[in-house]
């Protein structure tokens, strides 16, 4: 892998620090009155999902991470393991519940996702920004409650739970933002 100079630092870059892959989630350039320019970065450890602050002086370099992303189909969940299949070579990858995190609430069988590997080992999955899921359980809304902004918990077909407006009923189809876990809109069933 190559090296990245501080002038190449950008949000979204993937680097390797002490043999561990990191993702730059935020980068700020600061030029103090005297001395070298500083690059203040928030780096997310891709193996542990922790975020640390790092500061680099102008001219320093970091090694690029050997990270690869590809499209994979979610096949099934087995106890605490999620199984994905690479759409190109049909190789299967297993991710733990910790690696998937709260995204399990929106994972539906046969859904295409982005799987990230480091040294050919799966480390993370990224879902599409929006998914359409059916509501399997919703408490009936009280009659006459027409106040705006009233929400209630609803259960989705994936067994995940989100907050939705009071007018949502069992059987409705919802568009959900997988990045925030929030209700976007009521929609029609997918084709």
pLDDT digits (tens, 9 = 90+) for 148-190: 678 899 999 999 999 999 888 999 999 999 989 999 999 988 8
Higher per-residue confidence, 149 vs 29: 29
Amino acid 147: pLDDT: 62
Amino acid 156: pLDDT: 95
Q: What does the longest C-alpha to C-alpha distance in the chain come to?
A: 67
Q: Both 171 and 134 in a single domain?
A: yes
Query: At which of 126, 142, 175 does a domain end?
Result: 126
DSSP for 111-139? -EEEEEEETTEEEEEE--SEEEEEEEEEP
Q: Both 92 and 135 in a single domain?
A: no
Position 146 pLDDT exceeds 80: no
Please provide residue 144's backbone torsions phi and psi, each rounded to the nearest 5 degrees.
85, -5
The whole domain housing 117 covers 67-126
Mean pLDDT value across residues 112-121:
91
Residue 161's nearest CA partner among 191, 188, 139, 189 is: 139
Two tokens at 73? 């189909």
Query: At which of 39, 64, 89 does a domain end?
Result: 64
Q: Both 21 and 56 in a single domain?
A: yes
CATH number reported for the structural domain that contains residue 35 in this entry:
2.30.30.30
Q: Both 37 and 51 in a single domain?
A: yes
Q: Both 13 and 58 in a single domain?
A: yes
Position 135 pLDDT exceeds 90: yes
Structural domain total, the chain:
3
Amino acid 1: pLDDT: 63
């Amino acid at each position: 892998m190559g090296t990245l100079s501080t002038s190449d630092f950008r949000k979204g870059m993937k680097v390797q620090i002490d043999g561990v892959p990191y993702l730059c989630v935020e980068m700020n350039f600061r030029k103090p009155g005297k001395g070298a320019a500083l690059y203040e970065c928030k780096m997310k450890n891709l193996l542990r999902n922790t975020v640390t602050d790092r500061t680099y002086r102008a001219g320093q370099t970091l090694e690029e991470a050997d990270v690869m992303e590809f499209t994979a189909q979610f096949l099934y969940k087995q106890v605490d393991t999620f199984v994905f299949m690479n759409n190109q070579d049909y190789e299967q990858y297993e991710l733990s519940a910790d690696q998937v995190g709260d995204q399990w609430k929106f994972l539906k069988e046969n859904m295409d996702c982005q799987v990230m590997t480091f040294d050919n080992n799966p480390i993370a999955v990224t879902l599409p920004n929006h998914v359409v899921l059916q509501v399997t359980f919703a408490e009936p809304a009280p009659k006459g409650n027409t106040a705006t902004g009233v929400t209630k918990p609803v259960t989705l077909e994936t067994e995940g739970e989100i907050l939705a407006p009071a007018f949502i009923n069992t059987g409705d189809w919802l568009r959900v933002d997988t990045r925030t876990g929030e209700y976007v809109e009521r929609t029609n069933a997918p084709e």
